[in-house]
Amino acid sequence: MTPQTLVIGGYGYRNVGDEAMLAGLLTRLDRSRVTVVSRDPDGTRALHGVAAASIAQAIPALRSHRTVLIGGGSLFGRDMGRIGRLLPAFGLFAHALGRRVELVGIGLDDVSPRSFLVRALVRRADRVVVRDERSLELARGWGADAHLASDLSAHMREADAGAGENLLRAAGVDLRRPVVGLCLTGVDPELARRVQDAVGGAMEALPQVEFVFIPMARHPRVPSHDDRHVAAELRHDRPRLSVLDGVEDPGLVLSVFRRLDAAVCMRFHSLLFADRAGVPMIPIAYASKCATWLDERGMASVEPTSAALTAALSDLIPAERRAG
């Protein structure tokens, strides 16, 4: 058996945050000895330059891998669907086969209290590294010798600064004006409708500002996890909205953030990208992981109303910049 590592997580689902975590994780590993389990193995090989296997090949791959690394994000959360239910069982199965099992860069803040398999996996794993204080508290409460570290995306390499500008120009964004990025999601439909109304009002109130929608997730099968649906609904009523679509490389997306004047952030990794890029952000938490991140930094979610959003943007973008 070769000393390889089988990496498994939410990869190949066209989610910029998940791919950012994988990119960061691969900087910490010898990628020549790594196989990534992915929904889209060809896409993962092309994007990350690493060996990849399909989900159906995950169990057979245990024969040739000594370590199973379950990495990146809220993999066991309520919004993860089937993968969130299967991963704990897969990890426990690998452990029963004598494989070294590591949980790295995970969040546990939105795990169901009834998820006994998750708790069992956390207790039995050979290494547990979490990304926030709340997850650390939970893991240690479940009996794990857990440790705290930054989100895996923090290790991701960023693309050239000019790449972001080129992508924005290609999307039709006028870079002579202030540019506001919109990283919205429809996972919570009621909240999404309120945010869309608020954004529409802000666009009317700030006609001199360029708004560009940045889809952080483009799930191939679940519409509520494909942010382009929110973009299409918003653009139907506000045709001047630009949409940055088809950009899968997280390093390129981070480069786009560096060119923004401000960002309206619902998606978790849009918060992290804005923070890393030093971009003023207006956070609107759609999930507990976002609320946890904000709380640990003494920040609060902004009320999704037109008045609040317009006021926040006006505060973040100097008047002389808005005046052109």
pLDDT digits (tens, 9 = 90+) for 211-263: 999 999 999 888 889 999 999 999 999 999 999 988 999 999 999 999 999 99
What pLDDT, on a 0 to 100 scale, did the predictor assign at position 322?
A: 65
φ/ψ region of 17 (left if φ > 0, alpha if ψ in -120 to 50, else beta) reads: alpha
Mean pLDDT of 68-77: 90
Residue 13 and residue 126 in one domain: yes
The answer on 284 and 214 residing in a single domain is yes
Judge if 292 and 207 occupy the same domain.
Answer: yes
Q: What are the helix (H) ranges across the chain?
A: 16-26, 41-48, 58-61, 81-96, 116-124, 133-141, 161-170, 189-205, 228-237, 250-257, 268-277, 288-296, 306-316, 319-322
User: Residue 14 contacts by C-beta under 8 Å, 6 or more apart in sequence?
Assistant: 40, 217, 218, 219, 220, 248
Same domain, 221 and 309: yes
- Looking at per-residue pLDDT, the higher value among 225 and 113 belongs to 225
Q: In terms of C-beta density within 10 A (0-12 exposed, 13-18 middle, 19 or more buried), how is residue 76 classed?
A: buried
Whole-angstrom distance, CA of residue 139 vs CA of residue 119: 8
pTM of the prediction? 0.95
Last residue of a domain, one of 137, 155, 173: 155
Mean pLDDT value across the chain = 93
How many structural domains are present in the chain? Answer: 2
From the list 6, 52, 62, the residue with the least C-alpha distance to 29 is 6
149-174 pLDDT, tens digit per residue, is 999 999 999 998 899 999 999 999 99
- Domain interval for residue 96: 5-155
Residue 25 class from Cβ within 10 Å (0-12 exposed, 13-18 middle, 19+ buried)? buried
Q: How far apart are CA 235 and CA 206, in angstroms?
A: 16
Residues 191 and 214 in one domain: yes
pLDDT (mean) for 17-42: 96
Query: Are 141 and 159 in contact, with CB atoms under 8 Å apart?
Result: no
Q: What is the pLDDT of residue 110?
A: 76
pLDDT at 81: 66
User: Is 70 exceeded by the pLDDT of residue 114?
Assistant: no
Q: Is the pLDDT of residue 30 over 60?
A: yes
